[in-house]
Amino acid sequence: MVLESQVGFINDIQLYSLSDGPGIRSTVFLKGCLLNCRWCHNPEGSRRYPQVFPYQTNCNGCGDCLEACPAGAIEMAEPCQPRILRERCIDCFQCTEVCREDAMVVWGRMVSVDEVMEEVQADQPFYKHSGGGMTVSGGEPLAQPEFVRALMAAAKERGISTALDTCGYAAWEIVERVLEVTDHVLLDIKHMDPQAHRAYCGAPNGLILENAAKIAALVIPLRFRVPLIPGFNDSEDNLARTAEFIGALCGNGRECAVDILPYHPYADAKYRIFGLDYPFPAGEVYDEEKLAGIVDIFVSRDLAVTVGG
């Protein structure tokens, strides 16, 4: 009998990752998120269950998917540009079965802990010398806490170090149970203002900041990750408040670091391929001069800073 905690929904497993924690890592990307950030680069990971997304660059306009859909949930407003009407889609996946061009793709699959570990262990020879291990990311790992706990426990039984990449938006009881089998934490701080956080991320930030303080009080190595989003959180005032908050938690000999993650406009192209309207205006790439000024805000609080993770 397979327990519920032993199966979960994932999007992908990326081997030999260099940006999801210390050393060379195997990153498990889970399905489902607890927030709804307007700029999200991964719409295919927002829901916990598998979903179909059109891959418009592969479409030849044959229309087979429209005929196969029993719910009338697919439209072709322009040739070779299928769009899925989410309010109608019943996730039957019949469109994927008839598509001969891989233009209708299912994102997400149910896997067991053992299946994930079988893939992850392919990277195990790289862990020892690099200080790496397995990172669980998303979506949001805390959307599937029992599966994440079981997955990390299985990794530790195999001598594999674990890292949790999280937005921190969950009850402390849930976070605490996962941390029992976690060796490193990567924690997002998106904005210091609760109203702005609610408006752009779908929830206030109070619980996240509370959890950040509780995690910082533990002995687990901690990296704060600050995504730079134009017009949302990149003002000097908000960045200074963010640096002060992190600096206060990292005082008294507590070692932690900050990853500055500059926004890039590539998500807009991804949304177009999926037949979606990008809900956040695509901004310009941050130039080196502006990035240097932002880094100085954090360095001036005696924080170790990395740009890009």
CATH of the domain at 221: 3.20.20.70
Are residues 155 and 288 both part of a single domain?
yes
Are residues 41 and 56 both part of a single domain?
no
CATH of the domain at 55: 3.30.70.20
Q: Give the residue-averaged pLDDT of 209-234.
A: 94
Q: Looking at 132-136, 141-145, 215-219, 284-288, which range is the least confident one?
A: 284-288
Which alpha helices (DSSP H) does the chain contain, by range? Answer: 64-68, 94-98, 113-120, 124-130, 145-157, 172-179, 194-201, 206-216, 236-249, 266-273, 288-299
pTM of the model: 0.93
Boundary of a domain, candidates 107, 131, 151: 107
pLDDT recorded at residue 1:
39
Are residues 299 and 220 both part of a single domain?
yes
Domain that holds residue 24: 4-46+109-307
* Joined tokens for residue 14: 């990326």
d(CA 190, CA 170): 15
Is residue 303's pLDDT more than 60?
A: yes
The single-letter code of the amino acid at 262 is P
Boundary of a domain, candidates 61, 79, 107: 107
Are residues 31 and 64 both part of a single domain?
no
* Closest to 69 measured CA to CA, from 50, 47, 84: 84
Are residues 84 and 127 both part of a single domain?
no
Percent of the chain scored above 70 by pLDDT?
Answer: 96
Are residues 177 and 216 both part of a single domain?
yes
pLDDT recorded at residue 77:
81
Are residues 60 and 161 both part of a single domain?
no
d(CA 174, CA 28): 19
Tell the burial category of 53 from Cβ atoms under 10 Å away from its Cβ (0-12, 13-18, 19+).
Answer: buried
* Joined tokens for residue 100: 């001969």
Are residues 58 and 138 both part of a single domain?
no
Are residues 70 and 200 both part of a single domain?
no
pLDDT recorded at residue 255:
75
CB 57 within 8 A of CB 273: yes
**Average pLDDT of the chain to the nearest whole number:** 92
SS3 percent helix, strand, coil of the chain, rounded to 5, is 35, 25, 40
Are residues 66 and 157 both part of a single domain?
no
Are residues 204 and 288 both part of a single domain?
yes
pLDDT recorded at residue 237:
97
Could you give the number of structural domains in the chain? 2
Q: Are strands 109-112 and 7-17 parallel, antiparallel or unpaired?
A: antiparallel
Are residues 72 and 88 both part of a single domain?
yes
